[in-house]
Amino acid sequence: MQRALARVDVGAIERNCARLAAAVAPAQLCAVVKADGYGHGAAPAARAAQRGGARWLAVATAGEAEALRADGLDGPLLVMGALTEADLDVAVAAGADVVAWEEDFVAAVAARGPAGVHVKLDTGMGRLGTRDTAQADRVAAAVDAAGGLRLTGAMTHFATADEDDDAFLEQQLAAFRPWAVALAERHPGLLLHAANSAAALREPGARFGMVRCGIAVYGMDPFHRDPAEHGLEPALELISHVAAVKRAEPGQSAGYGRRFVAERGTWIGTIPVGYGDGVRRALTNNADVLVGGRRVPLVGSVSMDNITVDLGDEPVAIGTEAVLIGTRGDERILAEDVAARLATINYEVTCAITARVPREYGG
């Protein structure tokens, strides 16, 4: 019995990708597997995504690209993040495409050998990329002129696609489309891409030649509600077990700081998982757990290695399963539910599951 386990259904990832690929066709699907596949495991997620129809994979760092290649992943691979010269050595050696928005960077890529380059226009995210279409054109021309480099793509990234009825997505599209289309006319075969999961599902006009889906690949809702609304299946469950059960009489407490003090006689279960595993301390007195399929409240402080739950009048056997994310019968706890308790997003919930929680793959 594992003290904590993240069980990942790679079949769900494959089916999510098949659903997304069909929805966005004829655009290609790029599966984003950065941050260890959003906590699901980069290589297993990438393989499942490819089986589901993903033509491209994308990561944030050169090291992530190197690790995928070391795990035997082939096919087109894009490193989307900013790269130092040392990073460039790693990315180019991994046969990954890179993103450029400055001419000096293009020269640095060219000095390292053949590589594909995607030019990035900043249409409103305000992070990476150039806001100047003339500079973006010069970067594209520099790539085209450099021996050994391939001008593979032109891209941008949306800031508010996950916000309903937000007009800023349309403003960004209006800034990207004329520049990108004109560039593609001068460079036939250029791959245009802009949409993340939210934009891919929300706005057909944002799909262009490829969409970059991350959160939806893993069966989570880019709009932070319910993935079932989009036919997506959550791929990860986080489980543990009840390691101890004891009676708490009125006035007795559980956990650091006595954040829970029993007002009546009750049974307290201790579950050996905590913020050292990614269960955030902000869930103190602020979460539910499915214990033996029954929803019970998390009570007391989340500590590094343990949480406590109020079992009420129904004590359970040692070893009874405890589900922190997942579905049992009619009860479910989604990553979106946990995120809502934390006033954050579902991305952070699964990415926060630490490396000391083993991943088990099935499906």
Which residues carry out catalysis? 34, 256
- Asked if omega into 204 is within 30° of 0 (cis), the reply is no
The model's pTM: 0.96
Alpha-carbon gap, residue 40 to 18, rounded angstroms: 18
Alpha-carbon gap, residue 271 to 255, rounded angstroms: 12
Q: Which of 327, 331, 337, 345 is nearest to 226 (CA)?
A: 337
Per-residue pLDDT of the chain (363 residues; tens, 9 = 90+): 799 999 999 999 999 999 999 999 999 999 999 999 999 999 999 999 999 999 999 999 999 999 999 999 999 999 999 999 999 999 999 999 999 999 999 999 999 989 999 999 999 999 999 999 999 999 999 999 998 999 999 999 999 999 987 899 999 999 999 999 999 999 999 999 999 999 999 999 999 999 999 999 999 999 999 999 999 999 999 999 999 999 999 999 999 999 999 999 999 999 999 999 999 999 999 999 999 999 999 999 999 999 999 999 999 999 999 999 999 999 999 999 999 999 999 999 999 999 999 999 998
Bridge partners for 225 per DSSP: none
Contacts 24+ apart (CB under 8 A), 11-14: 11/48, 11/362, 11/363, 12/219, 12/233, 12/234, 12/235, 12/363, 13/40, 13/45, 13/48, 13/49, 13/52, 13/217, 13/218, 13/219, 13/235, 14/48, 14/49, 14/51, 14/52, 14/363
Alpha-carbon gap, residue 245 to 229, rounded angstroms: 38
Q: Which of 210, 220, 257, 177 is nearest to 55 (CA)?
A: 210
Domains, the chain, in order of start with CATH, read 10-219 (3.20.20.10), 236-362 (2.40.37.10)
Pairing state of beta strands 5-9 and 236-241? antiparallel
Do residues 153 and 141 touch, judged by C-beta distance below 8 A?
no
Enter the tokens of residue 250.
């009125």
When computed from its CA atoms, the radius of gyration of the chain, rounded to whole angstroms, is 23
Category of 128 on φ-ψ map: left (φ > 0), alpha (ψ -120 to 50) or beta: beta
Tally of helices (H runs) and strands (E runs) in the chain: 11, 20
Helix (H, G, I), strand (E, B) or coil at 207: coil
- Classify the C-alpha dihedral 277-278-281-287 as positive or negative: negative
Note the Cα 116 to chain centre separation in Å: 24
- Classify the C-alpha dihedral 53-56-60-65 as positive or negative: positive
Enter the tokens of residue 119.
């030019």
Identify the pLDDT of residue 1.
Answer: 79
Alpha-carbon gap, residue 121 to 129, rounded angstroms: 5
Identify the pLDDT of residue 174.
Answer: 98
- For residue 130, the 8-state DSSP code is B
